[in-house]
Chains A and B, each alone.
Chain A
Amino acid sequence: DTGVSQDPRHKITKRGQNVTFRCDPISEHNRLYWYRQTLGQGPEFLTYFQNEAQLEKSRLLSDRFSAERPKGSFSTLEIQRTEQGDSAMYLCASSSVGGDYGYTFGSGTRLTVV
């Protein structure tokens, strides 16, 4: 499979717990992006990497969120001390440098905080 893979597909967690999501991008793509999407809204930018370097992080992202891409391949997104407002679809996408040909998205991880 040459697409973008995300794991898990669904996650239900209790408020206050930590969660971690994984994304495996298309292998030839050196850019990896994380977005969050809630019902009725478009995807909202969280952060992105070029290879292993995190180039930008949204100002909307609180300190409870952290992302890594240690070897420039897969990436993880961790949310600490989850809150009900964190419930959303977390989308990962990858692209070649510049993104001029658009992104390929994974199927997303749907997080529900109860």
Chain B
Amino acid sequence: RKEVEQDPGPFNVPEGATVAFNCTYSNSASQSFFWYRQDCRKEPKLLMSVYSSGNEDGRFTAQLNRASQYISLLIRDSKLSDSATYLCVVNTNAGKSTFGDGTTLTVKP
């Protein structure tokens, strides 16, 4: 079983739709959590950190449930430019990041 598991998708949604991605992690000692975005043949880029209280950045909302070891990302009012792969990332207290295999999103006009 992988340490970080994501539904690979693909998710194909129309512009303006709301879409949610889920992620589970197995290491209960994990301390910090992130979502990264990766465009085709590019490097991953940090999208947002994920906090226990939940946090929002514009159209993006991230949630963390430590008890269930579950992380989510919600994208509202999807744009064509949101098309990418979204990587769920978990850090141990050593600071090393473990990446999921990503969820692919395609937003269509």
Contact = CB atoms under 8 A, between A and B. Distances in A.
Interface of A: 31, 33, 35, 40-45, 48, 55-56, 91, 95, 97-108
A102 B49 contact: yes
B97 A99 contact: yes
Given A41-B101, A45-B97, A56-B94, A102 B42 contact: no
B99 interface: yes
B85 to A, nearest CB: 9
Contacts of A102: 34, 36, 46, 49, 89, 97
A42 B100 contact: yes
State the main secondary structure of chain B at its contact with A. Answer: strand
Contacts of B100: 42
Given A35-B99, A40-B101, 11 more contacts: A31-B95, A40-B8, A42-B87, A48-B95, A98-B95, A99-B91, A99-B97, A101-B49, A102-B49, A103-B97, A104-B46
B43 A99 contact: no
Contacts of A108: 43
B14 interface: no
A99 B96 contact: yes
B61 interface: no
Name the residue among A33, A48, A95, A99 with the largest chain B CB count within 10 angstroms.
A99
B44 interface: yes
B8 to A, nearest CB: 8
B96 A56 contact: yes
A43 B91 contact: no
B45 A105 contact: yes
B44 A105 contact: yes
Interface in B1-25: 4, 8
Nearest to B43: A105
Contacts of A40: 8, 101
Name the residue among B4, B46, B97, B98 with the largest chain A CB count within 10 angstroms.
B97
B55 interface: no
A54 B44 CA distance: 23
